[in-house]
Amino acid sequence: MYAGTTFRNGSGRIVGVHQKIDRVARRHLKKYLNHDSYFPPIKEILHFEGLNGPDGIKRKSPSRDEPWHFINPSNPADRNLVMIINDNIYNLSVALKEGNDVRAAFEAAWLSHAIVDGLTPAHHYPFSDKIEELWGKPQHERLTVMDKNFIKGNTYRDTISKNWQYWGVGGVFTAHYTFEWGVASAIASESFSEAAPTKAEIKRVVKNGFEAEFMRSLRLVDDMKMYDQFGATGWTHDLAADTRDKLLPQIIKAVCLAWYYAAYMARSENS
């Protein structure tokens, strides 16, 4: 999802989707935390979004330890993102248990970012496969800014064709960016006051763990086929309505549940 330009701190404060989701999820989380449970305030969490978040790393250090938040919902063996989420939850619970405020804010922000991207329809597209097809090598082997942004083909015509497939109208990256900007536009005026998890969902995450909840949300989002619809029709009123009424509430709930589960783990280990 869009998190600002990553050129300066605070660039996504108004239209950043990640930032908006974090604000709403943090507000809903407050309803379920014990009065003596510590969780980083939203200001500290948002410090690690945008320029200081996963997207900022991509700009500063292309493909060097770059977070890769894509997942194939149809492939149970595609667990890289799930492992990242599980690691973030564990690290967040440890930071909360130890009272490490800065580390807790960092882990909360990066955990949320991974979940949001994983539940974003545009991140279900096989980006890695397309990059390897166009560049002729895996995405993590594009080690310079130039190599990440420019495809060198076998001939002049091949170079133009491949770059157009990626950057041109309807290209792989252009479609990805346009979808995410459409989400940002569709939710700009929404408060999502009804997007809080239910008590039953809170009990379920405590019983089953967050991975089960994430996979449940992933299936629900995948069943909507929003990116397929976007590819066929572009942004429509119906797609914007589904984004506001179905997609974003599902993502906000997932982030809130993940944060709650980490806080629950920290509290359990302290008791």
Q: What percent of the chain has pLDDT over 70?
A: 89
User: So what's the pLDDT on residue 256?
Assistant: 97
User: So what's the pLDDT on residue 189?
Assistant: 82
> Quick one: pLDDT band at residue 151, thresholds 50, 70, 90?
confident
> Quick one: pLDDT band at residue 30, thresholds 50, 70, 90?
very high
User: So what's the pLDDT on residue 6?
Assistant: 43
- Judge whether residue 10 has pLDDT over 70: no
Query: What does pLDDT average to over the chain?
Result: 87
- Judge whether residue 215 has pLDDT over 90: yes
User: So what's the pLDDT on residue 5?
Assistant: 46
Least confident of 6-15, 92-101, 205-214, 223-232: 6-15
Secondary structure in 3-state letters for the chain: CCCCCCCCCCCCCCCCHHHHHHHHHHHHHCCCCCCCCCCCCHHHHHCCCHHHCHHHHHHHCCCCCCCCCCCCCCCCCCCHHHHHHHHHHHHHHHHHHHCCHHHHHHHHHHHHHHHHHHCCHHHHCCHHHHHHHHHCCCHHHCCCHHHHHCCCCCCHHHHHHHHHHHHCCCCHHHHHHHHHHHHHHHCCCCCCCCCCCCHHHHHHHHHHCHHHHHHHHHHHHHHHCHHHHHHHHCCCHHHHHHHHHHHHHHHHHHHHHHHHHHHHHHHHHHC
- Judge whether residue 107 has pLDDT over 90: yes
> Quick one: pLDDT band at residue 125, thresholds 50, 70, 90?
confident
- Average pLDDT estimate for 211-234: 94
pTM for the model stands at 0.87
> Quick one: pLDDT band at residue 185, thresholds 50, 70, 90?
confident
> Quick one: pLDDT band at residue 14, thresholds 50, 70, 90?
low
> Quick one: pLDDT band at residue 203, thresholds 50, 70, 90?
very high
Residue of higher predicted confidence among 244 and 268: 244
- Judge whether residue 4 has pLDDT over 60: no
Q: What is the pLDDT of residues 39-90, one digit of tens each?
A: 999 999 999 987 777 776 665 555 555 677 789 999 999 999 999 999 999 9
